[in-house]
Structure 1
Amino acid sequence: MANSVERNVVQPLGEVNFTKPKWEFTKGLNKFQQMCETIFLKKGYLLLLIGFLLGRALILAQLTPFSLPFFAAVYFLRKEKAPIALIGLIAGAATLSIPHAVSAFGISFLFLLAYRIAKKWLTNEIKALPFFVFFTIITGKLLEAFIVTKQLALFDGMMAGVEASLGFILTLIFVQSLPLLSVNKRKQSLKIEEIVCLIIMLATVMTGTIGWTVYGLSIEHIMSRYLVVLFAFVAGATVGSTVGVVTGLIFSLANITSFYHMSLLAFAGLLGGLLKDGRKIGVSAGLLIATLLIGMYGEGGGTLYKTLLETAAAIFLFIFTPQALLTKLAKHIPGTTEHAAEQQQYMRKMRDVTAQRVAQFSNVFQALSKSFSSYDKPSEWEEDEGARELDYFLSNVTEKTCQTCFKKDHCWTRNFDTTYDYMKEIMNEMEYNHGDLSPKLSREWEKHCTRSKKVTDTIQQELTFYHANQKLKKQVQESRRLVAEQLLGVSEVMGDFAKEIQRERENHHKQEELILEALQEFGIQIEQVEIYSLEQRNVDIDMTIPYCNGHGECEKLIAPMLSDILGESIVVSSEDCSTFPNGFCHVTFRSSKAFTVESAVAHAAKDGGFLSGDSYSTMELGCGKYAIAISDGMGNGERAHVESKETLQLLQKILQSGIEEKVAIKSVNSVLSLRTTDEIFSTLDLAMIDLQNAGAEFLKIGSTPSFIKRGDKVIKIQASNLPMGIIQEFEVDVVSEQLKAGDLLIMMSDGIFEGPKHVENFDLWMKRKIMELKTEDPQAVADLIMEEVIRSRSGFIEDDMTVIVAKVKHNTPKWTSIPVHKIRKMAN
């Protein structure tokens, strides 16, 4: 027991002692990094170092176009650090010669003087800055040449123009690249232009190291090769070779003997980027191979041995570069794995935040729904509400009658119970007998009260107000209940939406490879396969295939093969074909529905008019359901047409939002009942058919029965609900029926159902006519029923008529599945 306790105590202590040095090292590294950021970035000493190197950088051995553009960019972007940058520039120019230092200071002073004078007239300083640099350089260099030689030659003007042009371009580059060196400017990714500007700036800074050597090794060669392998490792062959070309070009302009160096750097960037899968060793090998191949042909003022030593020094720096720094740099360069992961993490974060906000809104709506519905539940103080309302009622009566009566004390002080019971009985009898009192109660009340007539009249008057208040209270309560149901429906929709947002594309790499292998073995070229879902009846696959010349490979070959592989019918959901032969087609494959619905309609307006009070709609909802609806506005003509049409439009939009059918119908009813005070009502006949299992739900609001013809059998669908808009609160009766393939669903308005003349039983007459039909074509059935009703009326159309016939069929794919051999079918 003691040993076990001792082990339990010693082991945690050992773990703490083991992890403590690692934790302290990480803490020390972070502290060192923060100290470097404070010294070099925040205090601006990095600008001092860069200014020193740029101040001594030359092009063609005599041009110094870097000083003023750098100073102008620093002055424009970080004015408080401009003196530090100027000190660095003058110090760097002084390492070349004193006249160079004086020239750098003079041109900078001339720029400040001209810029300060013209600043008040500038509207866009960033656009004017390169022009100020251009004219300042050309003016300063011409003035310098005139002071030195006492004359101006054509060569002096040409060199001044070249240096001013370079200064114009470098100003644009430095303005783009300097913000990247700021600790306060955190960018998610760099543009290609920003990457090139940063490379140019780094290369120009490194030209300031020309002539520096350590143990005979050239600093500029080591740093340039280190820069190339760094970007090749981080961003690949394209960016690596670009860095090599740009860096080598700038070095060759600074020193003509370094021209061969451009080939070495470009080749090293290309090989290093191609071998980046080998990590640092592979990139280093690419630089070493490029050094050997190029170094054999161009000596460049040194031996091959010296060039190899410089390469070894660059590889040494690269190998010991912290991986954290490389990863941090890769996050800012588009096309890298780290950048893609960073963007994916950002998108995931935004998705989670959005889903969280939607879920919060869902909770708010749910809380509001509970708040509204809580008023419908009786609480303790509401149990005696009836007695309290009776007391208020009698108080109002006595206030208007008994307060001025001389027998008030006699009735309400000495005989309180008797008077109270008499008034209560009078109120009850008037309420149930429509204002009449029984003779017995009337005589007894006249004996008891000296103002009996006035009291009874007042009670009758107060009853009118009481009933109005009760009706209003009931309407408010019903409205609360309706609002609570609507808010709950919105809450459920938003909750489902939040869950959909958080759904990620599942990892189906193995299944994608199997599909790709199966299709390629069949001889079909596939560029890319992306599987989003393999759920039964909910398959979602995207493919990219070469241009098929319009032969229909997706529908005729790929979809049938997917049907065999996945074990269910797959069809082409959408197809975006290329407009040129060498392009690609993007295709989406999804599960086909088990059933389809073919619908047809026949309708006619009263007396052959143009506007019918009936409206109809057939729509396929996004949730795999098919809706058929008929609405009949009260009366005929334009007003009834508008009412029925608006009813269906409102219902369609609510259903497409995902709200449940009952709540949708109650919402429409609420709008219709509150929108107008006129007695304009609408009926609604709604059928919702599930296309996966052919289950149907019928919601009938004041509508006529529907019929299902299944072979020689006719099934009647009927429900009893008042038309919409009459009352605010009503229960929706839902009738469910399982449909089968081949069934005919016949829905009609009252103009069809009650249209036949001299018919006592409309149900039997309609069943018989449907039974006698010899065709199963939906349009023919609709036309025949319409014709039979009109004929029974001797050709007269006495009401608006609408009949919709829908036929349920199995969804048979156009192309059968193609067996795929030697490929094991994937499990869902």
Structure 2
Amino acid sequence: MATKETLKIKAARVREEARETGKVILRAPALVRSAECGIRFLLGAMLSGAEIFGGYAPFGLGLVASSGSGVDGFCALLGACLGYLSFQGFAEGLRYVAACILAYSVAFAFFDVKAYRRAWFMPLAAAGMDAVTGFVYLSDRGWTPENVIFFGTELLLCGAATYFYRIAFTPWTGQREEEELTARQTVSLLILMGTLLITLSKITLFGDLSVGRTAAALAVMAAAYKGGIGVGATLGVAAGLGMDLAAGETPFYCMTYALSGVMCGVFHRQGKLAAALAYVLSNALGVLWTWQQGLQVSLLYEVFIASVVFLLLPEQVLRRVGAMVGQPPQRGTRERAGAYVRQRLEDTAGAFRGLYESMRTSFGRPAPNDNDAAAVFDRAAARVCRRCPLQNACWQRDYISTFNALNDALPAMLERGRGEGGDFPAYFSNRCMHFSDFLSAANEELSALLCRRQYQSRLKENRAAVCRQYAELAGVLGAAAAELGAELVPDPVREKRLRQYLTAQGVECEVGAYYDEAGHLRIELEGAGLSAVRKSESVEKISKLMNFPLRAVDQTRRDQLLLVQSEPLMAVAGVAARKKDGQTVSGDAGAWFKHDDGSLYVLLCDGMGSGVLAERESSLAVRLLEQFLRAGIRPENALKTLSSALALRNEEEAGGFTTIDLMRVDLFTGETGVYKYGAAPTYVKKGGSVQRITGSALPAGLAGGDGAAPDVTRLQLEGGDCVVLVSDGVCGTGADQWVRDRLSAFDGGSPKDLAQALIDESGERVGAADDRTALVLKLVRR
């Protein structure tokens, strides 16, 4: 058998250690196992004394059957045998001793059988062994209806005790990750404690004062105080039923404990003293109701002693009771997950509102225009020929010849952009009395016509750009809607575990634990008194409790706290910059930030030109792009939207375009994307090699049409890799081998020192004819 072989191996190790060192050392795991075995022994002895119906004691047998075939089961067997022989005497106790030995033998014999691991196997085996041994004793007593009913109840309770005791011990024998603090385990622990109280009810002091009943009253009082009416009534009925079964009486204790638990729960918000008084007074009333059956004065003393102990209990103990019996909050985890996604959508809408505000003042109403080329001569004639004596002759009698003359001159005028005297036939120019004025007016109208055509072309491009903006907006909202429809998986086990921990610490708040679309754990807390939880040591304790590294996300509301799963990678950044000679501000602007989904974003924008105008354009691009990215918009959508917006803005304010260098790093996986709009090269060091990343896209705001997409390069970064982002003032148009050499020689020390060295050397090589910025990023594994 596997257990026997394990015991032999451990015994051989102990003998070998004793032979080599001359002594046997009990290490921490051995001490813990010894303590667990001792607890099994004591529980077996105590549960053997839990009698019901005046002589039936199935609970010790249930503990032996639930403890298995190993050392735990053997210790429980020894304790149960000692307890049965002590409480039941040799004749009656021998029956249960035989049943315990048979149950342990079944567990030992079938340990490696698949059926043994089924939840029903050992409860059925324990009830069967109890039936085999009890059949002989029941035959001796007689098969009366009362004995048959009690014997059948004993078999049922024996199987149930085996089933629930096994669940109650899962923190020792099972996986804490899956079984800890489940509802079944909480109920099983309460059943175990209730059956122990049956044994303790036999222990009396000063005549009739029962230790078990006093402990039961204290338990009901504490649970009702922390859990309210429902918990008080439920536990009162359960504890009272156990005491009635032990005493073999009518349901007197069940009625009294339940009534007292309800009344204590009613006053649980008025403080400990009010709850204790309500319990004592209602209990006294229940005792008086049974005046005719005999006054249970001992119960009054027991409840009084329990109330005194309750008032003396420290708040920390009551918090632990509240953590066990506390009710879940009304707001479910799914609602929290929905609120999280809705917040993302609101952030997206806010980003578009900011974009609208930046563009609103750049547009005016377009004036109506006429693109008909023939209108050039009509308008010129209206200005010059109106008062001419030959007006009727030219425009009525000889209209055909005038029309042909103007029609012949128009193509040359349109091609050249202005008219000349030679464009018109001689018969027209010689006959016209005001030809020079007519030609000048026609050129003015032609100029206006070409301007109107150019304006219409721009307007058409603008409308197309707005349509593209709507398309990008539709894509963004479509992605957000897909995220809203995605299933965010709640984790009720961790949620309940954290709620119990916080309740035990005196923190009353709502708790939500779920996994986002990437499978990363998120925990939301809402309530007063979260300042203590925000401390780093508290976050570290919660991380150990959740078995996930967590970090707190900065939030403005003091009654909310968001904990997200911490990333295995972290970034160390260094930046250095220098303005162009003669300028007070730099046209370069940058930012880096970490999103709560574990994405790190690094931005570097270089406004065209230098000075205040360049600084305004680059800062606007950084601000808008950061707002989009923080709202959760994908980098490609955010960049295309921003580029189109800048192109529209530049229709009214010429020269407002900027290069964009964006890098996104997933700090969970190391997946990286580099996005460029006309930006300088990016340099990536992996191991001993340096990679140079470039692009062909125009700066943002210059590119138009559907093909205005950024250059995208995908990378896989790891701990120890370095990335350098620079503006075009660092390298200029010359060779950049020296930058790669500098990065290749970088030993992973200070990123800021490397950035400053690049700026200093670029001044010697390229000069200070432009703004210069260098940003160095080094990834480090936590």
Q: Give the TM-score range, shorter chain.
A: 0.3 to 0.5
Q: TM-score, normalised by structure 2?
A: 0.45
Q: TM-score, normalised by structure 1?
A: 0.43
